[in-house]
Amino acid sequence: MVEPQPHAPAYPHDAVEAIGDDVFAVRGSLLMGPLLRISRNMAVVRHAGELSLINPIRLNDHGIAALQQLGRIKRIVTLGALHGIDDAWYRQQFGVECWTRPGSRRYPPPAGYHRLDESTPLPFPDARVFCFNGTQPESAILLTRGAGLLLTCDAIQHYGDYRHASTAARLLLPLLGFPKTTLVGPIWLKAVTPPGGSMRADFERLLQWRFDRLFAAHGSLLPGGAHAAVQAAVRKAFD
């Protein structure tokens, strides 16, 4: 009999913070290897007393209690193929719905999952799904309320600081293409670009949307000017 794999622990993270009407954020971390810890973030959308965890990260007991003060943990929404390390823990602990796209070689979706699709409404209002067309599934969600908040995974990231990154990671991040700015994830881009192809058309399609703020699965919240920042990042990545 194959023994089940143990769940990853709850790595260090900040408190749950409101970043909009019924929208919350948790800035956390992930241990990639000895001495190499990077940032990892989760967004939370509340609707009708239910919480949707976007780019879910496992929280400690205090963090989970804070979430439950906000509402019922109802579903997880996994935007990127390289993310999902904590999905099984949330399914086991809370019996959550799982919303994702198929095709991840690392974290295949469970039976009965809900497929993220640009034509399928999300279970909370004022939101749209964007799907990249790479060799591995990657999506983004636009919350259209207010000036627009774009939630991304690995495709677009913003680093206002290196909070939760270890000393080794802080030294390596600029060298690996992750300076303190808004950027197209270079490791992600290399991994998902079809042979002989380009992802630029996807980003140009995304830039047709209206948004002013950005919160990715890595880095920090960009509280304003996000559309222009993403536009500049796309030019830098492809020009």
Given this model, what pLDDT does residue 183 score? 98
The total number of structural domains that make up the chain = 1
Average pLDDT over residues 97-108: 92
Give the predicted TM-score (pTM) of the model. 0.96
Given this model, what pLDDT does residue 232 score? 98
Given this model, what pLDDT does residue 5 score? 60
49-77 pLDDT, tens digit per residue, is 999 999 999 999 999 999 999 999 999 99
Strand, helix or coil for residue 204: helix
Q: Would 2 be classed as within a structural domain?
A: no
Q: CATH no. for residue 131? A: 3.60.15.10
Beta strand 213-215 pairing with 36-47: unpaired
Residue 2 reports pLDDT greater than 50: no
With tokens 């630029």, the residue in question is 200
Q: Would 8 be classed as within a structural domain?
A: no
Residue whose C-alpha is closest to residue 22's, from 93, 88, 70:
70
Question: For residue 178, which amino acid is it?
Answer: F
Domain of 203? 17-238
166-213 pLDDT, tens digit per residue, is 999 999 999 999 999 999 999 999 999 999 999 999 999 999 999 999
Q: Would 3 be classed as within a structural domain?
A: no
Residue 1 reports pLDDT greater than 50: no
Q: Are 127 and 143 in contact (CB under 8 A)?
A: yes
Q: What confidence category does residue 216 fall into, taking pLDDT thresholds of 50, 70 and 90?
A: very high
Q: Would 102 be classed as within a structural domain?
A: yes
Q: Would 57 be classed as within a structural domain?
A: yes
Strand, helix or coil for residue 80: strand
Q: Would 108 be classed as within a structural domain?
A: yes
Give, for 65, the enclosing helix (H) or strand (E): helix 61-70
Separation of alpha carbons 77 and 98, rounded Å: 6
Q: Would 76 be classed as within a structural domain?
A: yes
Q: Would 12 be classed as within a structural domain?
A: no
